[in-house]
Amino acid sequence: MHSSAHCANGEAKIGVNQSVAAMCFLGAVLQLRGTKPVAQPFVDASGNILIYNGEIFGGIHVSFDSNDAKVLLQSLENCCCCQFHGNSSSCCGKPIPELLSSIKGPWAVIYWQDASRTLWFGRDAMGRRSLLVHWPTSEDSRLILSSISPPASTSQRPDPEVVDRESNINYWEELPCGVYSIAIDASRTSACLSGKVRKHEWMNSMLKDLIVWERKLIEPKHVELKSFDSSLLFGKPDLLSASDSGTLQSSTISPAEQVLAALRKSIARRTTQNAIFKETAMHDNGQGSSVPVAVLFSGGLDSMILAAILHECLDARYGIDLLNVSFEGEAAPDRVTARTGLNELNKIAPLRRWRLVEIDAELSNLTMEMKHVMSLINPANTYMDLNIGIALWLAAGGDGWVHEANNYAIQDGLQRFRYKSEARILLVGSGADEQCAGYGRHRTKYRNSSWLGLNEEMKLDMQRIWKRNLGRDDRCIADNGKEARFPFLDEDVIRILLDFPLWEIANLNQPSGTGDKKILREVARLLGLSEAATQPKRAIQFGSRIAQKSNRMNFGSNRAANQASAGSVVIYKSSD
């Protein structure tokens, strides 16, 4: 990790309080792009300052050996710096919101544009990178932006053992996705911050469509359900829009094949555009010990698809780590399916060096770790958030056990040895359930409100995933010096899944393990993963058995926890 700081002094006014203030920029960098380590923040010759946490996979050209943050800074320097900040036809360059809207990939950014005396900040439209904000209050008039909530700041964050600081719990909040700016009023001799935060519209039509998340074909007609089977192939997305008349278009490429192609491109972007791979391979000596990419691995449908496609994308010289966490040893469901999944991966890719990293944990022994993870998940604050956070944090750490052989069919008598994954990139299956009806509540909504209700529930999930999941998960994984990447949330993958009729994505008339995430089950079969294609959905907190252990620890029993709806119970409570 590489870090540095830069401060700019000046008078500032935020809200109603006026005082002398300093704008301070602090960045820590995990090097994944470029040939040499770089420190942030970047400061260019014009006095512009950039802190960037993200990856550029498209929209702005970044060569294989270039650092994407440096490229972004150069592009930002050419952007409009007039007083209208990009909202006038007389602008001197491309508006900053237009440039940021063009980026494909996850990002969070803080940028000081010196010429216009404007602070810009924001996060990508999906919210795949964490950015927290403390808005000025009467108790604390500072505007603070941070990837995480500092655990040592007890005045800003409550001690988990203190229950009478409810006001402090809400100190931080997830910054809603978007691009924001605050301008300094240069007309005043005191050069004060105006105190007005502007949120700018996305200036990319594709992004706007993804945010709205509208699907053209939702509710099938009776004749369509009766006549459609897996041998009938839909046309490409641009043909599907013409099928409102009830006539189904056919093509030689099935929806599952198109989704598979999009996922291959998505994973390739996230795993092969890093020059650091070459440096890692130089020390490998052809033994396959070098592992640049790992997969958060349960052996379930999503992680099996990611692992199989990663195998296709990644050079044969590299190994692949499969990170699996369990709070009940070999008895946890995710440990059982992970071993089964490893055997299936060995069948389709026997020459690949797979490592199933078995990370065993005992919840009662994680007192200090739990306190640390509480600060990471903040402002998320329920027992479900904490359970997921601990499981992700431990998995991302990659510190576990590996068996001498990869095939668990011959497991008896094999010895395990300690192993710590050094892979800096971690592929995570987030977004698959939201887009393909993988949750139990989707089945409930379908049962109560049919196709239209199901579509609205999935839309709600996609529009709140930034707040409920992604910021929290990014913080827990990044704390280990790893970068979470979400192939199912690639812009092109989201677009192509939206282009198909809902009944092609899922058919909840069919049983669990068949109709839920139907299109991804077909993708798995295309990859030769016949066993994984039938795996039911199981969330990490249940598959790893941390939820069960947490329920007993905090509520006395699973029954009592269920009666209290333990997953949604807030950890911190007021003294009232």
When mean pLDDT is compared across 331-345, 369-383, 408-422, the lowest value belongs to: 408-422
Q: Report how far residue 527's alpha carbon sits from residue 304's, in angstroms, rounded to the nearest whole number.
A: 10
Q: Which pLDDT band holds residue 559 (cuts at 50, 70, 90)?
A: confident
pLDDT of 405 reads: 67
Q: Report how far residue 340's alpha carbon sits from residue 563's, in angstroms, rounded to the nearest whole number.
A: 34
Does residue 499 belong to any structural domain of this protein? yes
Regarding whether 419 and 343 lie in a shared domain, the answer is: yes
Does residue 228 belong to any structural domain of this protein? no
Query: Contact 273/56 with Cβ under 8 angstroms?
Result: no
Q: Which pLDDT band holds residue 64 (cuts at 50, 70, 90)?
A: confident
Give one DSSP letter per residue of 410-430, joined into a string.
G-TTPPEEEEE---SEEE--T
Regarding whether 308 and 451 lie in a shared domain, the answer is: yes
Q: Which residues constitute the domain of residue 194?
A: 2-209
Q: Report how far residue 104's alpha carbon sits from residue 124's, in angstroms, rounded to the nearest whole number.
A: 9
Question: To the nearest whole number, what is the mean pLDDT of the chain?
Answer: 83
Regarding whether 294 and 385 lie in a shared domain, the answer is: yes
Collapsing DSSP to helix, strand or coil, 354 comes out as: strand
Q: Is pLDDT at 538 greater than 60 in this prediction?
A: yes
Regarding whether 261 and 364 lie in a shared domain, the answer is: yes
Regarding whether 201 and 275 lie in a shared domain, the answer is: no
Does residue 237 belong to any structural domain of this protein? no
Q: Which two tokens stand for residue 202?
A: 């996305």
Which of 184, 209, 234 terminates a domain? The answer is 209
Regarding whether 464 and 343 lie in a shared domain, the answer is: yes
Q: Is pLDDT at 187 greater than 80 in this prediction?
A: no
Regarding whether 16 and 92 lie in a shared domain, the answer is: yes
Regarding whether 491 and 342 lie in a shared domain, the answer is: yes
Does residue 511 belong to any structural domain of this protein? yes
Coarse DSSP helix, strand, coil percentages of the chain, rounded to the nearest 5 percent:
40, 20, 40
pLDDT of 403 reads: 87
Query: Contact 500/255 with Cβ under 8 angstroms?
Result: yes
Regarding whether 322 and 401 lie in a shared domain, the answer is: yes
Query: Contact 312/283 with Cβ under 8 angstroms?
Result: no
pTM of the model as a whole: 0.86
Query: What is the DSSP-derived secondary structure letter of residue 532?
Result: G
Q: How many domains does the chain have?
A: 2
Identify which of 278, 144, 130, 122 has the alpha carbon closest to the alpha carbon of residue 203: 122
Regarding whether 203 and 259 lie in a shared domain, the answer is: no
Q: Is pLDDT at 17 greater than 60 in this prediction?
A: no
Regarding whether 264 and 173 lie in a shared domain, the answer is: no
